[in-house]
Structure 1
Amino acid sequence: MTDVVALLVLGSLAGFINVLSAGGSMITLPLLMFLGLPPQVANGTNRVAITLQSLMAVGSFHRMGHGNLRVGIHLAIPAVIGAVLGAWIATWVPDQVFEWVLVSAMIGASVFMLLPQPKLDTRTLSPERLSPAIYVAMFVIGVYGGFIQVGVGVLFIVVLYHMLKIDLRQVNVLKVSIILPFTFAALVVFAINDQVDWTVGLTLAVGNVTGAFIATRVNMSARGARWVKGMTLIMVAAILIRLALY
């Protein structure tokens, strides 16, 4: 019962963070490991919640008229290809190596979140503004995200904001539109390799979806990401200390 409560509560928090800002997997992936799942199974199981959370978020954004389907599909294709490659690599990496990658990814993502973002002259995005460089960036992020989900949202925020010069609200909507298909592709790879605990994953997903639903209702507030970022970093610091003792 304690495990179920932890999955629901922290899953809700992670879903909220993932949609409004980034970094939710820095909470849920270590949680799954703390609950006894082997690192690779935890890595695959985490994708169940992310997929369903992203599905709900994408649907909510489109119902509210904030989606950009054409651009999302354009950018999702290279990300999906990269995710399949990254997930395949992750299925055979030794547990000890994966644990070190997890710690490094959490530290790296935290540093990215602390970096100040310069003010840019942002504008509405259209497919005509997509350059070859952004497609390459989506593939690279897809490989990383397929391997380990931790921090992938931070990378999307940085890349989409700087390369496409769109505001944070557009970034958040586009980010979940890309994360949905590429996370599902990675989940399929992990499932084929029997590295998904569906019971735990679906329980976590209930929490993630709840948090994501709430986040879509406050996404249009530009201030939201600031305090979410601070709360995430505090939790990540505590988790890193716990991982050091894991």
Structure 2
Amino acid sequence: MNAFEVVAILLAGVAAGTINTIVGSGSLITFPTLLFFGYPPLVANMSNNVGLVPGGLSGVHGYRRELERSGAAIRRYGPASLLGGIVGAVLLLWLPESVFDAVVPALILVGLLLVVFGPSLQRRARRSHPTHVSPGQQRLLWVLVALTGVYGGYFGAAQGVILIGILSTLMVEDLQVLNGLKNLLALIVNGVAALTFVLLRNSQIDWSAVLLVGIGTLIGGAIGARVGRRLPPLVLRAVIIVVGTVAILRMTVFA
């Protein structure tokens, strides 16, 4: 690993940690970066997942005040994320690697579309908020959070965008409170998936990549929690779209 690769992966980690804390979809920075430097898709995905955990911790710490208002929601939906993350990670290890190679470009494209259309969907959802959450909505939300956890454990790009879209559609809390809850639920998914990968496929994890991504996301998570709200969302989304598009082209047209 040369100096350019080290710096590039580290900076990608900082960007991903910042973006994950603010809007989600930071994996659309780090995962394509690892692919660009020649890491096999499955190795890149598992290494990236493990490397995102420190950024999740720093992001959650930065939103600790908002999370103090989410105790009931954490107890209700945390187990859904835990279960979904385990299922997604096991599916990644159980299904043939060729399946992952085939579906990753489509998953990245889905993530990019969510990045593009997510703000519009969230604005519409907030305009139609009810004044309370019914038991039926709570059950639906539990299922949707669990399914998002499966997606997050398997791949995870734009998991945060999906979560904030779901939460802002079916819950009535302030958006910043929901963003803190989103960060915690995503951390649960990433954490349990990372533990699964370490226990079952440790030999396929590139620990040098994990170290660089982890240091970067740890820094980025703190940045995102403290000053991320001041960054132009349009600029962040543009960067995600460009990097994600390059990754799709690299895995398909130029593979």
Compute the TM-score of the two structures, normalised by the length of structure 1.
0.88
Provide the C-alpha distance between the structure 1 equivalents of 2:81 and 2:47, rounded to a whole number of angstroms.
20
Higher helix share: 2
Post-superposition CA distance 1:139-164 (Å, at most 9, x none)? 11111111111221121121111111
| Percent of aligned pairs with the same amino acid | 26
Q: Distance in 2 between matches of 1:155 and 1:178?
A: 12
CA distance in 1, matches of 2:22, 2:83: 26
Unpaired runs of at least 5, structure 2: none
Contact 2:18 2:221 in 1 (8 A): yes
Q: What is the rounded CA distance, in whole Å, between the counterparts of 2:197 and 2:141 in structure 1?
A: 27
- Maintained 8 Å contact 2:16/2:29: yes
Residue 243 of structure 2 is matched in structure 1 by 235
The answer on 1:151 being equivalent to 2:158 is yes
Residue type matched to 1:150 in 2?
Answer: A
* C-alpha distance in structure 2 between counterparts of 1:16 and 1:52, whole Å: 12
2:178 and 2:237 map into 1 onto residues whose CA distance is 15
Work out whether residues 57 and 212 of structure 1, in 8 Å CA contact, stay in contact via their aligned partners in 2. Answer: yes
SS at match of 2:55: helix
Query: Is 1:37 aligned to 2:45, yes or no?
Result: no
Q: Aligned equivalents of 2:41 and 2:193: distance in 1?
A: 16
Q: CA 1:213–1:123 in structure 2 vs 1: closer, same or farther (change >3 Å)?
A: farther
What are the Cα deviations for residues 98-153 of structure 1, in whole angstroms up to 9, with x where unaligned? Answer: 12221101111211222222342469999989711111111111111111112211
Q: Map Cα deviations across residues 32-88 of structure 1 (whole Å, 9 max, x no partner).
A: 2333333222221112221111111111211xx222344223212111111111101
Q: Distance in 2 between matches of 1:94 and 1:31?
A: 23
Residue 31 of structure 1 and its aligned partner are, at CA, apart by: 2.0
Tell me the SS of whatever aligns to 1:77. helix
Q: Whole-Å Cα distance in 1 between the matches of residues 234 and 137 of structure 2?
A: 28
2:137, 2:170 within 8 Å by CA — same for their partners in 1? no
Alignment of 1:106-121 (within 5 A): 106-115=108-117, 116-117=120-121, 118-119=123-124, 120-121=126-127
1:1-246 matched pairs, under 5 angstroms: 1-62=3-64, 65-67=65-67, 68-115=70-117, 116-117=120-121, 118-119=123-124, 120-121=126-127, 131-194=138-201, 195-220=204-229, 224-244=232-252, 245-246=254-255
Contact 2:133/2:171 (<8 A) preserved? no
Moved more, 192-201 or 164-173: 164-173
Q: State the Cα distance separating 1:4 from its structure 2 match.
A: 0.8
The alignment of Structure 1 onto Structure 2 pairs a total of residues equal to 243
Asked if the contact 2:22–2:224 (Cα under 8 Å) also holds between the matched residues in 1, the reply is: yes
Structure 2 distance, partners of 1:127, 1:188, is: 34
Contact residue 71 and residue 126 of structure 1 kept, 8 A? no
Displacement of 1:210? 1.3
Runs of at least 5 residues in structure 1 that lack an aligned partner in the other structure: none
Q: Is contact 1:21–1:229 with CA below 8 Å preserved after alignment?
A: no
Q: Matched residue of 1:91: which SS?
A: helix
